[in-house]
Structure 1
Amino acid sequence: MSRTFLRRLRWTSLRLRLVVVFALVALTAAVSASGIAYWLNREAVLTRTQDSALKDFRQEMQNRAASLPLQPSQNELQTAAVQMAHSSNPGYSVLLVGERAKGKPVVGYSNLDGFTLSDVPKRLQDAVGKKQDVGDSNAYAYHLFWQRITLHGKPYLVGGTRIIGGGPTGYMLTSLAQEREDLNSLAWSLAIATALALIGSALLAQAAATTVLRPVQRLGDAARRLGEGKLDTRLRVSGTDELADLSRTFNRTAEALEEKVSHMSAREEASRRFVADMSHELRTPLTAITAVSEVLEEESENLDPMIAPAVQLVVSETRRLNTLVENLMEVTRFDAGTARLVLDHVDIADQITACIDARAWLDAVELDADRGIMVRLDPRRLDVILANLIGNALKHGGSPVRVAVRIEGDELVIEVQDHGPGIPEEVLPHVFDRFYKASASRPRSDGSGLGLSIAMENAHIHGGDITAANAAGGGAVFTLRLPRDPADPADDQEGDRA
């Protein structure tokens, strides 16, 4: 099965819930209607058959059994029973029970269904045999009692009455098999009708769900494309219902979002272009200023003591401005996507030592790294990362700074830990943000606020990451994770072109 079909069938699917609800409503309605129809027809059929048979039996008892003597003979009872059975419509079996002298019963019968006195329920015999108070003992008044029974797995109606004022007791038995067959056929017809109603409701529910959910599905697909950055996504609107209003609202929202993102992108591009242009424009005069400041620095010993501090200030601020311009140019390269890796296999211990030595930090850094750990990376960018992390630790945590190197699976892990006061919890999420300085919690820095963000960008271009945390024993810990053999972006581009 396709993933789309399975998704439509899951229990959380609105389509499935609509179909199930429609089906349950239809099933409830169909079962209720069928049950009521079956019950009404059952009562009507049984009552009609029952009333017809009992009415005929009552009439026959009144016409034939009531004319028998008080103590009829066996032949008289037999003849009357046969006559009653043969004249019955519908046909039924008859038992006539009379009494002779000394209370000995005499039975006459016309047996169509193997009907005997033992088949008559005891409760019915007791009801028929109970003495009735009627006032006029010579009247042919009588009470008729009946009961539905099952004999040999078949349904029957049994009735009984006793002639008031003297005479035989009569019982009749008629089959209800035909009525049961008719009711079974009716039950099957109603069951088939219920099943057809259920199937029809499911098909109608499917059609309704498709009609309702197709616009919702299109809206969901459009929302996903919008979330993927395809801001020109629009829905085709037709109709005037609520779904059409929802589609119009989506189109207006998408249009407003596209316009806002377009304006933001234009402003961002203008800002990037301004920073890049400014960095390039500043670089030329800074080169000249730097050259002059270096000359002044070399001659500072020969200058007037009142002028020497100003010269030193110019030199330091010029270097700081140079660093800021270089960082801004680096940031613009990352933003423009033009930064590239130049990968090489290096001994990580030698690389870290060279970084520390170049900045005269050998006495301030404790290096815990085994030689011979070879990693493929961009040495210049790793130097930038380490310089920013170690320099940041020395500024804010003091010396010594501990640098530990280890290998975890396919990753190179470098931890830089200082012994300062640590990083406040509210500052931790922002330490890699551009131009962010936690000056309220750490000594005031003369940095640009770009060092850690540049370090993070260089880690990302390697396919790695940097995290900041506070050590259990105090101080801040920056953890750099880099793949030991990152993919070369140049190779990926060549592969794409191929």
Structure 2
Amino acid sequence: MRLSSLRLRLVVVFALVALVSAVAVSGIAYWINRDAVLTRAQNAALNDFRESLGENAGALPRTPACDAVQGAADTMAGSTQRYEVVLTAGQRDGSVCTASSDPEFSLGDVPDALRAAVARKRPLKGPNKAEYHMYWQRITLEGEPYLVSGAKVIGGGPTGYMFKSLAPERDDLNSLAWSLAIATALALIGSALLAQAAATTVLRPVQRLGDAARRLGEGKLDTRLRVSGTDELAELSRTFNDAAAALEKRVAELSAREESSRRFVADMSHELRTPMTAITAVTEVLEEEADSLDPMIAPAVKLVVSETRRLNDLVENLMEVTRFDAGTARLVLDDVDVADQVTACIDARAWLDAVELDADRGVMARLDPRRLDVILANLIGNALKHGGSPVRVSVRTGTSAAGEEELVVRVADNGPGIPEEVLPHVFDRFYKASASRPRSEGSGLGLSIAQENAHIHGGGITAENAPGGGAVFTLRLPRDAGRPAPEGDGGDADGGSGRTGPDGGADDGEAGR
């Protein structure tokens, strides 16, 4: 499971540290107490058994009678240490007499390894001063823990074995283990509560910082944090406030500059429109009289007419761009038969012989007819100019990624395609793919205006190269553009003309082919 929450990770880390620490401390405490309890009980029993064996079994003759052996065993078992005794002694006839203070215990209960160690005679040399030694071992009999010890009386006397129950010590250690387990659980719960309190204390400023950053990202540049204290989080809040203030100031400066630039372009376009109207009227007169002019003057007149039309297109395009930038562009929606709209666009510009149309009649969409005409004119005109005929236009319907019905118009040309380094810039304003041809008949705004008109409908345009050659522009628009336009997009508030070419048609946009 992924721990995506910082609070949860902090609580888990605190709990793990507390758990490991508590378990380690409890384990160490348990083993220290266990060793102390068992050692104390063991030493007390062994010392008592050693003394009792010497006093009682050592007083017996070398070949004592079985009754005497039994009496010695019973006497030894009466010790305050509460252990049971098994004594063995050799008889004159060579037999062995075995006496037990409790019928439940016998010589067979003593481990073979312990009996062998007790019976082994050790040479008297070096630090060894006795032939026989006492040995002990912890065993389990019928589920109960016992301390078993054995020793042989020096001088050939009886051999004695002690069975000391360790059940009381086991019960005490179990109680200790339960107490330590409860303490560990309480430490774990306490650490979790402490981690929660620490997480709340530490993460509350972080959460406030995150909320402030989110509001700042949403454009609320006046967002500030309340700063208190002198710790690292307070310093971080001060840094955030300083950064937000600097950002607000910088954005205000850039917004003022951008607004000034937009106003300049809009004012310039409007100021140029009046003289351009007069110049256009004059050039139309000159064009009508071109055939009667002096042959030396006619080329100059044609150049003036051509450049005047180009300048007029540029002014109109600039005015259209300023509407989008100012957010004043609006849609004038109507129910449109898309196939009829494409046919009308092609026919109005005399492109019928150069365009192949693949569109079914009756495909209806609720769009702005004028803006759809601008988009189609720019895409088809661009394909004709840079790709060459025949240009193939197909109209299909489909489903968008959001599950909504959409209109898909593909414009494919028969040219060499668009260079890969140019593809990302085909919709940029005034972008020219080659510096060797800075002038063209287009303004360099056509494809940009087409993209803006697609955006205001809630759609978009993409450009790519077909596998077999040629460029393909794909227009995707919702079949019902009646929903609110995305913030920042727009169209003409009054549904103005928005012409992008001399015939209300296409501007090539310098697609770069």
- TM-score normalised according to structure 1 size: 0.90
| Aligned residue among 20, 30, 34 for 1:28 | 20
Q: Which moved more, 1:20-29 or 1:367-376?
A: 367-376
Is residue 62–residue 140 contact of structure 1 (8 Å, CA) maintained in 2? no
The AA in structure 1 aligned to 2:60 is L
1:345 equivalent in structure 2? 335
Is residue 149–residue 157 contact of structure 1 (8 Å, CA) maintained in 2? yes
Of all paired residues, the percent bearing the same amino acid is: 75
2:360 equivalent in structure 1? 370
2:168 equivalent in structure 1? 178
SS at match of 1:221: helix
2:111 equivalent in structure 1? 121
| Aligned residue among 298, 308, 312 for 1:308 | 298
Q: Which moved more, 1:341-350 or 1:275-284?
A: 341-350
Aligned pairs for 1:183-194 within 5 A = 183-194=173-184
Matched, 1:326 2:321: no
Structure 1 residue 219 displacement after superposition: 1.9
CA distance in 2, matches of 1:150, 1:372: 95
SS at match of 2:58: helix
SS at match of 1:101: coil
CA distance in 2, matches of 1:38, 1:372: 87
Q: 1:353 to 1:57 in 2, by over 3 A?
A: closer
Is residue 89–residue 97 contact of structure 2 (8 Å, CA) maintained in 1? yes
SS at match of 2:365: strand
Aligned pairs for 1:255-266 within 5 A = 255-266=245-256
Q: 1:314 to 1:173 in 2, by over 3 A?
A: same
Structure 2 unaligned residues grouped into runs of 5+: 400-404, 488-513
Structure 1 unaligned residues grouped into runs of 5+: 1-8, 493-498
CA distance in 1, matches of 2:215, 2:175: 58
Structure 1 residue 188 displacement after superposition: 0.9
1:61 equivalent in structure 2? 53
Q: 1:134 to 1:73 in 2, by over 3 A?
A: farther
1:11 equivalent in structure 2? 3
Is residue 411–residue 484 contact of structure 1 (8 Å, CA) maintained in 2? yes
SS at match of 1:131: coil
CA distance in 1, matches of 2:436, 2:468: 18
1:425-483 deviations in whole A, cap 9, x for unaligned?
11111111111122358895221111111111111122221111222332222222222
CA distance in 2, matches of 1:474, 1:10: 48
1:481 equivalent in structure 2? 476
Aligned pairs for 1:214-233 within 5 A = 214-233=204-223
1:220-258 deviations in whole A, cap 9, x for unaligned?
222222222222222222222222222222222111111
Deviating runs (4+, > 6 A) in structure 1?
Answer: none
| Aligned residue among 434, 448, 473 for 1:439 | 434
| Aligned residue among 92, 99, 123 for 1:101 | 92
The AA in structure 2 aligned to 1:12 is S
Aligned residues: 478
CA distance in 2, matches of 1:248, 1:203: 30
Q: 1:417 to 1:132 in 2, by over 3 A?
A: closer
Q: Which moved more, 1:179-188 or 1:248-257?
A: 248-257
The AA in structure 2 aligned to 1:421 is P
Is residue 343–residue 488 contact of structure 1 (8 Å, CA) maintained in 2? no
Say what the alpha-carbon RMSD is for the aligned residues: 2.4
2:289 equivalent in structure 1? 299
The AA in structure 2 aligned to 1:98 is A
Is residue 366–residue 482 contact of structure 2 (8 Å, CA) maintained in 1? no
Q: 1:452 to 1:105 in 2, by over 3 A?
A: same
Structure 1 residue 67 displacement after superposition: 1.6
CA distance in 2, matches of 1:359, 1:214: 65
1:129-177 deviations in whole A, cap 9, x for unaligned?
2234459xxx998522222222221111222211111322222222111
| Aligned residue among 412, 417, 432 for 2:412 | 417
Q: Which moved more, 1:271-280 or 1:215-224?
A: 215-224
Q: Which moved more, 1:184-193 or 1:88-97?
A: 88-97
The AA in structure 2 aligned to 1:115 is F
CA distance in 2, matches of 1:391, 1:67: 130
- TM-score normalised according to structure 2 size: 0.87
Query: Greater helix share, 1 or 2?
Result: 1
2:369 equivalent in structure 1? 379
